[in-house]
Amino acid sequence: MDGFVHFIQGFLDLGATVILPVAIFLLGLLFGQKPGKAFRSGLTIGIAFVGIFLVVDLLVNNLGPAAQGMVDRLGVELNVIDVGWPASSSIAWASIVAAFIIPLGLAVNVIMLMTKTTKTMNVDIWNFWHYTFTAAMVYVVTNNLVLSLLAAVIFQVICLKIADWTAPMVSEFYDLPGVSIATGSTISYAPGIFLVKGLQKIPGVKNWNADPETIEKRFGILGESMFIGLVLGATIGILAGYSVGDVIEIGIAMAAVMVLMPRMVKILMEGFYQYQSQLVSG
């Protein structure tokens, strides 16, 4: 058992840029894809994650010090730190329950598919850390492995059912047939659907057209993401007391983040779409 745990932990330590491509490649082979196509899908996804992490590093390295400078300069005292998902995922995968989550999660997903209780196959193995985090918290409180794994399973089932429910909307909006969103962090948007449906019944409000294309068309460059990033970055730099040159630098860095991040995500979705379309055609 110790050897298995060490093997799983070593694999998890490789990070999303390795875990997801390997998982996609193996799942592709399992479902009958040709090795070349499965490898290409996995590699595309790995490349996308490398790009995403580079953009995140650009954001953290520029915005982090500026935000700290702003806090220090304004005399704001904060005693709670949002460590973000990179640290949270690392904490989750380092927990004692982590080694059980991937095989358990895959087994639960396959059973639900076989019993037709879900239509979603969650191939985003890296983001199983959401289930792991849930299990780890329960384990800390109860010191009971069975209860912690049961909590992870319940959370996974909820995620899969919400993914089934929202799949038509996600597929239509992103023009990605057969794609759903099943991760623990993204299903939190689902309650907002009821809010939107309520707003759509309010006279006047229901006729508002505030999609990005309309905003950009109405406000020109002022509505573009790169300009918004420039203003946000420069504002934080000014509040941090940066020099003119540093203010411009952080503004441009934020503008770059706003432009590059969607493009990296697009590459990621291309990889998943290749994988999904090959499974359907295969």
Alpha-helix residue ranges (DSSP H) falling in 31-187: 35-74, 84-93, 98-114, 129-142, 145-174
Is the pLDDT assigned to residue 219 strictly greater than 80? no
**22-57: per-residue pLDDT in tens?**
877 887 787 777 888 888 888 888 888 788 888 888
Give Dmax (Cα) for the chain: 63
For the chain, what percentages of helix, strand and coil (3-state, to nearest 5) are there?
A: 80, 0, 20
What's residue 107's pLDDT?
92
What's residue 131's pLDDT?
93
Residue 282 binned pLDDT confidence (cut-offs 50, 70, 90): low
Amino acid identity, position 190: A
Q: How far apart are CA 26 and CA 257, in angstroms?
A: 32
Residue 181 binned pLDDT confidence (cut-offs 50, 70, 90): confident
Residue 174 binned pLDDT confidence (cut-offs 50, 70, 90): confident
**139-161: per-residue pLDDT in tens?**
999 989 999 999 999 999 999 99
What's residue 81's pLDDT?
57
- Average pLDDT value over all residues in the chain: 80
Q: How far apart are CA 132 and CA 118, in angstroms?
A: 21
Tell whether pTM > 0.85.
Answer: no
183 vs 125, higher pLDDT = 183
Is the pLDDT assigned to residue 280 strictly greater than 60? no
What's residue 152's pLDDT?
95
What's residue 3's pLDDT?
64
254 by DSSP, 3-state: which? Answer: helix
What's residue 276's pLDDT?
59
Give the domain ranges of the chain. 2-281
37 vs 274, higher pLDDT = 37
What's residue 162's pLDDT?
92
197 vs 109, higher pLDDT = 109
